């Protein structure tokens, strides 16, 4: 029998109704043997996530402000879930113990981790699965970084003792007895660690959307879902602003070559998106996988006659950025020009100083500055080695009166990045989408 690790996000566990859906998903496939839950999330848009409420309790204790009311909201939500699911689980002693520990000034990490802990107990009771304490398998080193080696060894050793188990997401152990959490949304990371530890065939990430979309739905109407994407493509579109799984979350499964399936708890029949390792063969050419983009860039264009013959010119130019503590995103160049594409968050108030220093250190013939730029990445392994892709993209932009200020194509040919005026951003994304997808 194969092994699937299924991680369920907060909206999938927000109330008893959602949890019943989770139950039927798990029971529908015997291979779903290791389950990683997040804490209950929002039931409706103005609702509060349990994790946020727990952090709030902790903040109140720190300020010596009573936190009873907030804790009661948390307790009521869990008790309601137990009641609505008809479970004969005595949750009150757990809640009392947690409350007492918060009063005794437990850490923020401990307090926040109880959201996942409590839902773990409920799921274990409902499904008849064992519950495994993440502190037995996930370890952080003294500097607070995940101790990958120890975690991998202990996860493998410990979970092999269980046929089926619930492993609460989001936390592990530091300094041998204290709880430490991952960054927010960290249950994704727990799921990936568990998937690698049990040598899963697939890591299922159940959420409230039917996979990744080819473009931002706020810009393109009803964008198509992405059925398959490689880890590398995913990194490109995530870096360019698409909201997908955190890099860190992908890392353990990417390393082990385990595919990730993103699925929708509310529409389990939808195919979802499969994230696969980069070496898988390309089955289609001439198509794109997705489009993503980010605003708030400045492009500085430096021109100097015979730049190409001047040894050290690029180094001197980049030194100016380095000494000013600025990182650049792209650096397309011509024979006599170099463009520096820099995120405004790096540049902020330093622009004038940087321009002065470039002038004095590099003696350019001219420097032009283009503020308010947006970058758009068109990503797809199906684009590589396919003639006509760039022509199609630029024709689409031209036909929509979008002026392209910068072009950068990664050498792997899975990504073409264009820089456009911020005002043209949405038009450009729609133009590219319509040219390749519609």
Least Å distance, CB 51 to ligand ASP, is 4
Least Å distance, CB 108 to ligand ASP, is 12
Q: Which of residues 181-210 bind ligand ASP (CB under 6 A)?
A: 184-188
Dihedral over Cα of 162, 165, 169, 173: its sign? negative
Tell me the window of 127-135, 178-186, 295-303, 316-324 that interacts with ligand ASP (CB under 6 A): 178-186
Q: For 178-183, which contacts have Cβ atoms below 8 Å and span 24 or more sequence positions?
A: 178/107, 178/109, 178/110, 179/107, 179/109, 179/110, 179/113, 179/135, 180/109, 180/140, 180/144, 181/109, 181/112, 181/113, 182/146, 182/248, 183/246, 183/248
Q: Which of residues 28-47 bind ligand ASP (CB under 6 A)?
A: 38-39
Site string for ligand ASP, 295-334 (x = CB under 6 A): ----------------------------------------
What does R_g of the chain's alpha carbons equal in angstroms? 25
The correct pick among 10, 168, 197, 259 for binding ligand ASP (CB under 6 A) is 10
The correct pick among 12, 53, 115, 121 for binding ligand ASP (CB under 6 A) is 115
The correct pick among 4, 21, 32, 49 for binding ligand ASP (CB under 6 A) is 49
Asked whether position 18 contacts ligand ASP by CB under 6 A, the answer is: no
Cα separation, 325 vs 318, in Å, equals 11
Least Å distance, CB 70 to ligand ASP, is 16
Q: Which of 138, 148, 151, 149 is nearest to 180 (CA)?
A: 138
Count of residues that bind ligand ASP according to CB under 6 A = 13
Least Å distance, CB 192 to ligand ASP, is 12
User: What are the b/e assignments for 279-296, b being 16+ CB within 10 Å?
Assistant: eeeeeeeeebbbbbbbee
Q: Which of residues 143-172 bind ligand ASP (CB under 6 A)?
A: 169-170
Least Å distance, CB 71 to ligand ASP, is 17
Q: Which of 178, 183, 177, 233 is nearest to 384 (CA)?
A: 233
- Got the DSSP string for 262-290? EEETT-TTS--EEEE-TTSPP---S---E
Q: Which is nearer to ligand ASP, 115 or 272 (CB)?
A: 115
Query: Which residues form the interface with ligand ASP (CB under 6 A)?
Result: 10, 38-39, 49, 51, 115, 169-170, 184-188
């Amino acid at each position: 029998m194969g092994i699937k690790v299924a991680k369920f996000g907060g909206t999938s566990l927000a109330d008893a109704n959602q949890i019943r859906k989770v139950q039927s998903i798990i029971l529908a496939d015997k291979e779903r043997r290791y389950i990683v839950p997040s804490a209950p999330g929002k039931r409706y848009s103005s609702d509060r996530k349990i994790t946020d409420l727990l952090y709030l309790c902790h903040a109140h204790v720190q300020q010596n402000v009573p936190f009873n009311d907030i804790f009661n909201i948390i307790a009521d939500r869990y008790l309601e879930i137990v009641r609505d699911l008809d479970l004969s689980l005595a949750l009150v002693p757990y809640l009392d113990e947690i409350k007492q520990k918060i009063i005794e000034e437990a850490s923020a990490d401990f307090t926040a981790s109880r959201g996942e802990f409590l839902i773990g107990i409920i799921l274990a009771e409902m499904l008849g699965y064992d519950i495994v304490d993440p502190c037995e398998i996930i370890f952080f080193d003294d500097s607070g970084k995940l101790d990958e080696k120890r975690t991998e060894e202990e996860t493998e050793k410990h979970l092999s003792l269980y046929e089926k188990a619930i492993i609460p997401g989001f936390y592990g152990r530091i300094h041998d007895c204290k709880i430490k959490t991952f960054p927010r949304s960290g249950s994704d990371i727990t799921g990936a660690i568990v998937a690698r530890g049990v040598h899963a065939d697939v890591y299922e990430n159940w959420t409230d959307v039917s996979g990744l979309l080819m473009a931002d739905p706020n810009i393109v109407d009803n964008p198509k879902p992405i059925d398959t994407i490689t880890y590398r493509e995913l990194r490109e579109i995530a870096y360019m602003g698409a909201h997908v799984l955190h890099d860190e979350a992908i890392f353990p499964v990417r390393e082990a070559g385990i595919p990730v399936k993103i699925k929708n708890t509310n529409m389990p029949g939808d195919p979802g998106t499969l994230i696969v390792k980069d070496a898988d063969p390309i089955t289609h050419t001439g198509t794109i996988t997705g489009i993503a983009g980010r605003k708030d860039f400045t492009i500085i264009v430096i021109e100097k006659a015979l730049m190409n013959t001047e040894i050290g010119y690029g180094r001197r130019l980049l030194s100016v950025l380095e000494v000013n503590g600025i990182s650049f995103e792209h650096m397309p160049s011509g024979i006599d020009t170099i463009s520096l594409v820099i995120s405004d968050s790096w540049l902020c108030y330093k622009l004038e100083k940087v321009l002065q220093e470039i002038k004095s250190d590099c003696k350019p013939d001219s420097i032009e500055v283009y503020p308010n730029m947006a970058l758009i990445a068109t990503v797809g392994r199906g684009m590589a080695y396919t003639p006509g892709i760039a022509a199609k993209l630029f024709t689409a932009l031209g036909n929509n009166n979008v002026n392209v200020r910068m072009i950068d194509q990664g050498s792997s040919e899975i990504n073409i990045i264009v820089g456009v005026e911020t005002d043209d951003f949405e038009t450009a994304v729609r133009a590219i989408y319509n040219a390749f997808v519609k």
